[in-house]
Amino acid sequence: MSQYWSDIVHDLTPYVPGEQPKVQDLIKLNTNENPYGPSPKAIAAINAAATDSLRLYPDPCSERLKRAIARNHRLNVNQVFVGNGSDEVLAHIFQALFQHSRPLLFPDITYSFYPVYCGLYGIEYEAIPLDRYFEINIHDYDRPNGGIIFPNPNAPTGIPLELARVETMLQKNRYSVVVVDEAYVDFGTESAVRLIEKYPNLLVTQTLSKSRSLAGLRVGYALGHPDLIEALTRVKDSFNSYPIDRLAEEGAIAAIEDVDYFETTCQKVIATRESLVKRLQAMGFVVLHSGGNFIFTKPPKGNGAEVAAQLREKNIIVRHFKQPGRIAPYLRITIGTDLQTQALVDAISDII
Ligand SMILES: Cc1ncc(COP(=O)(O)O)c(C=O)c1O
């Protein structure tokens, strides 16, 4: 607290990211990073870009990166917006497209950055309860609103929403922007990108942090109608002209173009997820259906916090959300390598 703070800073409740421990040799399954490194072609491209040219500003429009993303999704360049991680892209979306007199709608159990952006930008919101199976009931969103946002698959539950339901939601909501946050979509969830041509109020966000293993590079993007993209560009150019630096642009293009590496690593993560689910279920854990690179699971005694603390003592970090209510008994576990998963299963069977 300080007398120099603005009123808005006094009132902020910032987002708390998962721990990035300084200790070496931990098995880190708490922030949904990819256990496999980025494409070697991305690393080579970043190294090749580390030259004297770094004295020059990067392309403020990230034109080549936008073209690579557009090609990958079979869209036009004017349907692509890029930013410094999808968190930054989301921040611009909240400011550019959600500041209205009606409330923004999102699930009550979801990515905890959404209410933080609402606080930052003074956006009123309604948190819509998930149903008793932790699923999004699309009919609950059929009410006046200034926008809708949800992750697909949802986080931290991991549960995907079928594309047909996403489309029904869009059909019933033509007057405000619907954002589908597809941070984890590449691990087995159907993308809404192909609905973009049909619905000018649909915006899809994706990131290179998860399926392309580039959380450290900070590249995310939004896909949608050129009018929505223009709104984001106007905010971006009033905030930071150069969100994508020269190294990030080269690394991101190479990662997007290395389709084989991307598909192989995603498949490996999905296979490990499925085997971990079976092994946890065999030990009496409840595991929600996941379409992401993580699972949301309840130990047999419902003592998520305690199991997380005991795993930590065994040098394994998973995420427990310290909020009261339905998710308190659960743990969110990021999918690691097969070796890390074996260590996790061994540690859990010791603990329980
Ligand atoms: C649902 C969801 N959306 C967006 C993000 C932001 O990802 P990034 O800023 O790394 O692109 C995350 C990060 O964990 C997430 O869980």
pLDDT score for 219: 98
Could you tell me the pLDDT band of residue 23, with boundaries at 50, 70 and 90? confident
C-beta of 220 in contact with ligand 1 (< 6 A): yes
- How far CA 91 is from CA of 74, 83, 113, in Å, comes to 25, 10, 9
- Closest ligand 1 atom to residue 156 Cα is 16
pLDDT score recorded for residue 25: 85
% the chain with pLDDT above 70? 100
From edge to edge, which strands make up the β-sheet containing 220-224? 80-83, 220-224, 202-207, 178-181, 147-151, 104-107, 125-128
State pLDDT tens for residues 159-205.
999 999 999 999 999 999 999 999 999 999 999 999 999 999 999 99
- The mean pLDDT value for 70-89 works out to 98
Ligand 1 atom nearest to 154, measured from its CA? 1
Measure CA of the first residue to CA of the last residue in the chain; give whole Å. 43
pLDDT above 90 for 323: no
To test the pocket of ligand 1, the residue of 15, 109, 113 to mutate (highest count of ligand atoms within 8 Å of its CB) is 113
Name the more confident of 18 and 76: 76
Tens digits of residue pLDDT in 282-294:
999 999 999 999 9
189 lines ligand 1 (CB under 6 A): no
Distance 42 CA to ligand 1 centre (A): 20
- Ligand 1 centre distance from Cα of residue 26 (Å): 22
The predicted-structure confidence for 126-162, as pLDDT tens digits, reads as follows 999 999 999 999 999 999 999 999 999 999 999 999 9
Inform me whether the pLDDT recorded for 59 exceeds 90.
yes
| pLDDT of residue 20 exceeding 90 | no
Kindly give the distance from the C-alpha atom of residue 53 to the centroid of ligand 1, in angstroms, as a whole number: 30
Q: Whose CA is nearest to atom 12 of ligand 1?
A: 183
Taking the CA atoms of residue 72, residue 75, residue 79 and residue 82 in that order, the dihedral angle to the nearest 10 degrees is 0
Alpha helices in the chain (DSSP H): 7-11, 40-49, 63-73, 85-97, 113-121, 163-172, 226-236, 246-257, 259-282, 304-313, 338-351
Tell me the best of 29, 89, 111, 203 to mutate to test the pocket of ligand 1, counting ligand atoms within 8 Å of each CB and taking the most.
111
- pLDDT higher than threshold 90 for residue 63: yes
Instruction: Please tell me the distance between residue 39's alpha carbon and the centre of ligand 1 in angstroms.
Output: 20
Q: What residue type is 345 in one-letter code? A: V
**Best probe residue, ligand 1, of 81, 86, 149 (max atoms within 8 Å of C-beta):** 86
Q: Is 292 in the pocket of ligand 1 (CB under 6 A)?
A: no
Phi then psi for 75, rounded to 5 degrees? -125, 175
**99 pLDDT higher than 90:** no
Query: Which pair of tokens denotes residue 298?
Result: 């309840």
* Residues 206-241: tens digit of each pLDDT: 999 999 999 999 999 999 999 999 999 999 999 999
Is the per-residue pLDDT at 106 higher than 90? yes
